[in-house]
Chains A and B, each alone.
Chain A
């Protein structure tokens, strides 16, 4: 079985305070698919993402990554396959310099010094931030921080890439750079976002989540153009598909 598939089987999850964030979520994502997870605030998008790398474990149901069930025992293995880029780069970048931060994951994977160096250089060049390698993270712009936090995950060479709100707080050019990066990543990727235009640009498939339940699952071109469905779920047509009313 391919390393790159993701299966959710009737996943339920409740936070300790009793909030049921996922209520029976099922889907399968196969190798090479690009899937956008959309839904209103509090729909369960972030909770769903945290299940894919075992940061959270389901209270009921199963999550399988490449046929391997995610559990306490398999989390380590799963995290080698799944790269998760968090929404706030400040949560992710904690090492004293960019280079050390990008090397953090590969070093934890037990790779040799030369291999680490090769991967870090490659990832930094890919994201266009090689020149930032010696800078401390607190002296970077938001766009640079985002690029570095993506590089930090790419250096682990994951089979599956997951991103939570990759375009939030970015200026248009940095957002465009994230989009072109995403389109250059050929393996499985999952993007949770409110930026429906970004989904339109990067994903073929969309899963619409609301109240912890999958409301729709299908081709991006169909779901993102279904104004009625989107509005019922607290969303709107992507901006590029809306007709502006000039006064």
Chain B
């Protein structure tokens, strides 16, 4: 729990940097990344070569957004077991010979490799999106492209208070630590601690709501300078979208 909290801090710091990629309108980035995944997923199951050009997009985000490679790799690794589980039986089940780039392999291995590539592309793109766009602006962007308002409000509040609550949880654990003289944490104690954290959270939510209502909150968050989409946002969007389309229909060999 605490380590999650620390990971969020890293993400938070990276997402608040100021680079050309960070400055692109969040709505444009979100929509483009969704379209990107759509294109990547749309290829037939044995596709390898056709997917290669799509690495241009995540690499672009990575380099111009100055996101540490290790940060992306770590997150991909955490997610990778799911993908391996999905694809690992392909080589066993599908033994049709299949030719890729002059080499003949079992079809199962080719489709497994293709699944892994798609995973790296799509998951990588979304990790990079979250590293180059702050979570709150991302949730406002979701609202901007048509997601229900309830979601964005939930995410914004959750993201704001995860730092406050994380700090509170940490204090509760530390208070136990200094009085426990190395004794292991018993399940009963843990239940009491969770209970007290829950009560505090409840109290806080009431105070936060009261404070919001005191400043005229009526269920809707209004933003100043909602942000207009600028010429370079459109340019970025148009260039990459036409690349995605041409990779899909004109790439992939003869």
Contact = CB atoms under 8 A, between A and B. Distances in A.
Nearest to B208: A91
B23 interface: no
Interface residues of A, number: 35
Contacts of A80: 216
Interface residues of B, number: 30
B214 A138 contact: no
Given A84-B214, A137-B160, 10 more contacts: A88-B207, A91-B210, A91-B211, A92-B211, A93-B160, A96-B136, A96-B137, A97-B136, A104-B221, A138-B163
A91 B221 CA distance: 16
Interface of B: 12, 16, 134, 136-137, 140, 156-157, 159-161, 163-164, 204, 207-208, 210-218, 221-225
Interface in A104-122: 104-105, 107-109, 113, 116-117, 120
A74 interface: no
A105 B215 contact: yes
Given A86-B207, A100-B223, A138-B163, A108 B157 contact: no
30 contacts: A53-B214, A79-B213, A79-B216, A84-B211, A84-B214, A86-B210, A88-B207, A91-B208, A91-B211, A92-B208, A95-B136, A95-B156, A96-B134, A96-B137, A96-B156, A96-B159, A100-B223, A100-B224, A105-B215, A108-B216, A108-B218, A117-B225, A120-B224, A136-B16, A136-B134, A137-B160, A138-B12, A138-B160, A138-B163, A152-B215
A201 interface: no
A97 B15 CA distance: 13
B40 to A, nearest CB: 30
A99 interface: yes
B138 to A, nearest CB: 10
A113 B224 contact: yes
B197 to A, nearest CB: 15
Contact of B224 (A79, A92, A107, A109): A107
A108 B215 contact: yes
B130 to A, nearest CB: 14
Majority SS at the chain B contact face: helix
Nearest to A80: B216
Contact of B208 (A94, A113, A152, A156): A94
A152 B216 CA distance: 12
Majority SS at the chain A contact face: helix
B209 to A, nearest CB: 9
Closest CB pairs A-B (n = 4): A108-B216, A96-B136, A105-B215, A107-B222
A232 to B, nearest CB: 31
Given A53-B214, A104-B215, A138-B164, A113 B134 contact: no
Contacts of A105: 215-216
A158 B242 CA distance: 53
B215 A55 contact: no
B216 A99 contact: no
Interface of A: 50, 53, 55, 76, 79-80, 84, 86, 88, 90-97, 99-100, 103-105, 107-109, 113, 116-117, 120, 136-138, 152-153, 156
A116 B224 contact: yes
Contact of A99 (B16, B164, B214, B224): B224
A228 to B, nearest CB: 36
Contacts of B136: 95-97, 136
Nearest to B206: A91
Contacts of A79: 213-216
A84 to B, nearest CB: 5
B214 A94 contact: no
A83 to B, nearest CB: 8
Contacts of A120: 224
Given A55-B210, A117-B224, A136-B16, A156 B215 contact: yes
Contacts of B134: 96, 136
A120 B16 CA distance: 22
